[in-house]
A and B are shown apart, each in its own frame.
Chain A
Amino acid sequence: MKWFINTWRTLNQPTKYLTLGTISLSAFLMGIIFWGGFNTALEMTNTEEFCIGCHSMESKPYQELQQTVHWSNHSGVRATCPDCHVPHNWSRKIGRKIEASHDVWGWLMQTVNTEEKFESQRLEMASREWKRFDRDDSLACKNCHNYDSMKWDDMSKLAQKQMKRAAEKDQSCVDCHKGIAHNLPDMGTSRAPELIAQVGTGETGLVVGDSYFTALTKPLYFNDTTDVEAGTLNVATKVTVLETNGNRVKVGIDGWRKKIGVGRVIYFDFGLNILSAQLSKDAAVEEGIMAVFEEKEDPMTGLKWQRAEVKIWTDSDYLVNELQPLWDYARDTYSSSCSVCHTQPDEKHFDANSWPGMFQGMIAFVNMDQDTQALVQKYLQEHSSTFDKSAH
């Protein structure tokens, strides 16, 4: 212990023998040596060998990478682990390294050392990487891929259309190209991922008084805090924002209802079975939610219809500015999914009230999740002969 106190005293004294220059020089030299060592060490951790040094990385992500175009392609350029997962800019790199110390902990605790553990963590790990890519607009991709250098003519028409749109916004690559180097995680409950990739998760900063369209079928609530559901709001439905509070938004839905049962289904317009919203029985009779106005008889069914306005709460996500991107997605899906067995009929071959019967009667072989089904049906109805009178 004594040697330690002595050394401390020495170090604590102003220099007696050495000049300031000597000290500065030696500090500088030692700095170089240290810095070099540090960088060498740092660079060492930036090699593929280091990355796959642990079993978890070698057995899963590395194997998956080898199946992809980033590993083997006709131009012989290969992207290895750090090319995508370590920023090239120094300060970000250091930040990333500090962040990565978390991985050492994971290695010590063996959090992903078996296939099962790895798969169970895959979504979390992937999400973290996706977020990081989101933050810098997929800079790691853009180190090699540049929108400005893309030769549009060599792309298919479809690719051109989508890439040009992405280029305009300098869109983050992984917005669309998730799973390009490793298998996609099990996203289980994520709804209509392709639709959402195209239309987005909704506007931030909803403006009171403005109108928006639902990008998914959304739950309705009695107020801004409760979890008690008051019904559902159908996809591609126009709503007006009346009030916002945190993650909740109060919206107005205008439409018509049939005067049968409780009258809790709101349709797009008089006599048209185009679904806008369904309220629970409690919500339909709750004071202040639904207001009912004039009444008309539908000559096609003899049923009475009433104009209705609903004011009700929903989550503030999945509300988008424009309807057209939803229709674009629905049209493409209809065109590809409904032509697997036969030529799909023109949208305007049937009227708005005939489409549900035709669509529901043919859905057995079509792969659409519930949201997409609802959207495509609504697309067909709103582009049917009821709205488009041109001959065909």
Chain B
Amino acid sequence: MNRRDFLKSLMATSYIALGSASVLAPFNALAAAGAKTNNDWLTTGSHFGAFKMKRKNGVIDKVIPFDSDKYPTDMINGVKGLVYNPSRVRYPMVRLDFLIKGHKSNTSQRGDFRFVRVTWDKALTLFKDSLDEVQTKYGPSGLHAGQTGWRATGQLHSSTSHMQRAVGMHGNFVKKIGDYSTGAGQTILPYILGSTEVYAQGTSWPLILEESNTIILWSNDPYKNLQIGWNAETHESFAYLAELKEKVQQGKIRVISIDPVVTKTQRYLDCEQLYVNPQTDVALMLGIAHEMITKKLHDEKFIEGYSLGFERFQPYVLGESDGLAKTPEWASKITGVSPEIIRDLAKVMTKGRTQIMMGWCIQRQQHGEQPYWMAAVLATMIGQIGLPGGGISYGHHYSSIGVPSSGAAAPGAFPRNLDGDQKPIFNSHDFKGASSTIPVARWIDAILEPGKTIDANGAKVIYPDIKMMVFSGSNPWSHHQDRNKMKQAFQKLECVVTVDINWTATCRFSDIVLPACTTLERNDLDIYGSYANRGILTMQKMVEPLFDSLSDFEIFTRFAKIMGKEKEYTRGMSEFDWLKKLYDDCKADNVGKFDMPDFDTFWKDGYVHFGEGQPWTRHADFRNDPEINPLGTPSGLIEIFSRKIAKFNYDDCPGHPTWIEKTERSHGGPGSDKYPMWMQSCHPDKRLHSQMCESQQYRETYTVQGREPVYLNPSDAKQRGIKDGDIVRVFNGRGQLLAGAVVSNNFPRGIIRIHEGAWYGPVGKDGSKQGGNEMGALCSYGDPNTLTLDIGTSKLAQACSAYTCLVDFEKYQGKVPEVSSFNGPIDTQI
């Protein structure tokens, strides 16, 4: 498509937007308006996979996996529904009271879902006026535009980059550090293993399959989580999991899933499970360490040559420093694992080659730094770090990590930052004594308690006084904890702006909502194969943007124009100019390494394949020569005891891994007398976080009475008179939700699961339609973060602790409300 076609189609879209009112109308209107019908398969990609698509009458018709995706996920069936669903944001919308009163609006109405349709010009002008007001009155500390999330794929239209570049051209703002997924892990591991580890390439699967005798999946469900990727995912890891399954069946590799529940991976591999009480893994690991030390199973030579501080850790394990020996018997009482099994585990792990693979959930709990640190210590004691098929990894369940990388240079992206010496209109750096960067999960605390000083990673963070939030391609009303607390905080904000494709709960609690189009309604390009960087594929526009939606590039180009900075923003380049530039730059970076055809050929073929990579072992260079290839720790060695962390003097994160009791813990732990059930809110099986929850038909394949499933143990369910398929009210002191019971033996007593990313759909406390914006509201669909605890993991990472969460549940007896999460707002005329 050339620029002229692009403009023509834009005009066609505007026409449709004016003439359509219902969801179905645009399909026909689009066809009538002459959206390009094309019998060719076009190539595109997403977090869920790479696809080829065909259109019929201007509507996306068939979606099939990309040729090299041999293990497509079931979520391919939900892709069309991301475009065509009743939750689409159709027009720029402004909250009723905000439209009338602006920054003096009644903010307790936020979330009551009364919105008014406005033109793009009006919406963008209001947006800019709000920024002007906040920058003038409060300066940069009044604006937080750094709360970013998973976005949709595409290197050009990446929504967070566009928003931050455009808002950054207006003025400076508060930013985040870290993320919700791995906040504790990525903070602690650089001190211990010298890298975030969670986002680093891991030892290649072929080497693991060849060399490992035992694989420990610790709180890790790769078969579920490898379905999605940071870039266009082509699921190569699944071929290795299939091979692993074969080896497990042949008895060649022993896989032990250490997990409170039976995971999808365990069921797929048909491997062993070791049950452990929720949140007690550190105690289990200490029990294993105690056994290793007393039986001299640990590798003293490796510890001596490659690590520091074992001599300060050992007395803690043996009880010499605190009078409490961490014996298997001690651990057994906390963990529910028998001393014999703990002793056996110590033996198994030190015999033959053992690869420990950690999942991420385990660090998303209070003191989430500790299990990651302690597991690294166990791996050091085993002494196989840097050997193929041995050691420890923290990412083999994520984005094709472990698939050998092609080694090619990946394409860059539309710039997030201002160019060279460009300056924002409001260029104050006066944060009024507050911090300009805050730990990602502490922003609600900051809004509620501006000026408060907290400890974070060895520094002091002073909360800024945030008055305005801007989100794009991010849904914190899904991923942050404790909805009632969020409501309280949001009432303190003067203005909230959200750009999204669909009416997420974040849009609901906003003042200005701007409709972005989906990835299938604009042109882009992306890496496919995620960490494997297997190639580059086109993301070709399948249909024109529905309704009044625009691409992120277009939205913020228009916004920049209002600021008088259009050319600065786009560098005078169109969508296709940018695609060509990104492609050509990548081509230049690969000269001499990987042949890439010219852009036109790439666009015609749909992809460029970089080929296979070479197997690689993590930390092998360190093991070979720790002097020349030191780790990125202060000493360059593995730090079993960290003097640096010890110097921070944190009670909740001392100098060596430590078992610390949680604020709330099931199975006899604190608070379990009041709320006996532990709720795990892990990454969903059929979504990417909250993305695709709105895909209506696909959602209906797994919901129970239209609600998100809650997985229950048969005995726990029976005790409460609940049958499979019932509507269940799950509650604690923080909130309440409705979900649909799925009774399953995969979940032991005292444990329930609701996948995070279930869209928040608040209704009145008693199930009535009104009152969703009020405290104590009932979530009609089943968002687990209605119930979770909003505290930092520790003074070190200050990360999200969603896994420290006790609840109870009952059969719901009240009036069953309609699910209010989807279908968008109440249109209001003024």
Contacts and interface: CB of A to CB of B under 8 A. Distances in A.
Interface of A: 67, 156-158, 161, 179, 184-189, 258, 260-262, 264-265, 273, 278, 298-303, 332, 335-337, 339-346, 349, 353-365, 367, 385, 391-392
Contacts of B433: 391
A142 B568 CA distance: 27
- Interface hub of A262, A357, A363 (most chain B Cβ within 10 A): A357
A301 to B, nearest CB: 4
A186 B591 contact: yes
A264 to B, nearest CB: 7
B199 A362 contact: yes
Contact of A301 (B146, B628, B643): B643
A356 B632 contact: yes
Nearest to B165: A339
B416 A360 contact: no
B148 interface: yes
Contact of B632 (A264, A299, A360, A367): A360
Given A260-B627, A343-B148, A353 B634 contact: yes
A361 B199 contact: yes
A266 B466 CA distance: 46
Which 7 interchain pairs have the tightest Cβ spacing? A357-B190, A361-B196, A357-B632, A356-B632, A188-B592, A361-B195, A339-B416
B230 interface: yes
Contacts of A363: 200
A336 B412 contact: yes
A362 B194 contact: no
Given A302-B635, A353-B644, A362-B199, 13 more contacts: A157-B568, A188-B592, A258-B636, A298-B634, A342-B160, A343-B416, A345-B437, A354-B190, A357-B190, A358-B190, A360-B632, A367-B412, A391-B435
A360 B195 contact: yes
Interface string B400-437: 00000100011011011101111000000000010111
A380 to B, nearest CB: 12
18 contacts: A179-B588, A186-B591, A187-B592, A261-B626, A300-B635, A301-B639, A336-B415, A337-B412, A340-B412, A342-B148, A342-B179, A343-B164, A346-B437, A354-B191, A357-B196, A361-B189, A361-B198, A361-B200
B205 to A, nearest CB: 16
A112 B689 CA distance: 56
Nearest to B531: A364
A344 B177 CA distance: 9
A264 B627 contact: yes
Given A258-B636, A300-B644, A156 B571 contact: yes
A340 to B, nearest CB: 4
A343 B176 contact: yes
Contacts of A367: 409-410, 412, 586, 589
A298 B634 CA distance: 10
Given A301-B308, A336-B415, A364-B531, A392 B194 contact: no
A339 B417 contact: yes
A364 B592 CA distance: 21
Contacts of B410: 365, 367
Contact of A157 (B146, B420, B630, B632): B420
Interface of B: 146, 148, 155, 158, 160-161, 164, 175-177, 179, 186, 189-191, 193-201, 230, 308, 405, 409-410, 412-413, 415-417, 419-422, 433, 435-437, 459, 527, 531, 567-568, 571-572, 586, 588-589, 591-592, 598, 626-628, 630-636, 639, 643-644, 647
B592 A392 contact: no
A363 B409 CA distance: 12
B635 A301 contact: yes
Contacts of A358: 190, 196, 632
A184 B588 contact: yes
Given A156-B572, A158-B419, A341-B230, A278 B409 contact: no
Contacts of B647: 300
Contacts of A335: 417
Contacts, number: 154
A300 B420 contact: no
Contacts of B531: 364-365
B186 A361 contact: yes
Contacts of B158: 340
B421 A157 contact: yes
Given A157-B422, A343-B148, A361-B186, A273 B636 contact: yes
A360 B190 CA distance: 9
B419 A189 contact: no
Contacts of B459: 385
Nearest to B151: A341
A262 B626 CA distance: 11
Given A189-B592, A273-B634, A360 B194 contact: yes
B782 to A, nearest CB: 29
A4 to B, nearest CB: 60
A324 B164 CA distance: 28
Nearest to A368: B409
Contacts of A343: 146, 148, 160, 164, 175-176, 416
A301 B488 CA distance: 45
A299 B409 CA distance: 40
A325 to B, nearest CB: 14
A387 to B, nearest CB: 15
B571 A356 contact: no
Of listed A158, A278, A385, residue having the most chain B CB within 10 A: A158
Contacts of A273: 630, 632, 634, 636
Given A300-B643, A361-B186, A265 B628 contact: yes
Nearest to A231: B628
Given A335-B417, A342-B148, A361 B412 contact: no
Nearest to B413: A340
Contact of A156 (B193, B199, B419): B419
Nearest to A351: B458
B627 A265 contact: yes
Contacts of B416: 339-340, 343
Contacts of A346: 436-437
Contacts of B632: 273, 355-361
Nearest to A335: B417
A186 B643 contact: no
B195 A357 contact: yes
A85 to B, nearest CB: 23
A132 B807 CA distance: 77
Nearest to B308: A301
A349 B417 CA distance: 17
Contacts of B164: 343
A265 B627 CA distance: 7
Given A300-B647, A301-B308, A345-B177, A339 B196 contact: no
Given A157-B419, A161-B420, A188-B592, A392 B436 contact: yes
A295 B522 CA distance: 62
Given A157-B422, A349-B437, A186 B194 contact: no
A148 B555 CA distance: 37
Nearest to B631: A357
A316 B60 CA distance: 62
Contacts of A345: 177, 437
B634 A300 contact: yes
Contacts of A179: 588
B354 to A, nearest CB: 23
A341 B164 CA distance: 12
Given A156-B571, A265-B628, A339 B415 contact: yes
A2 B155 CA distance: 84
B591 A362 contact: no
A261 to B, nearest CB: 4
Contacts of B415: 336, 339
Contacts of B639: 301
Contacts of A302: 308, 635, 643
Contacts of A161: 420-421
B412 A332 contact: no
Contacts of A360: 194-195, 200, 632
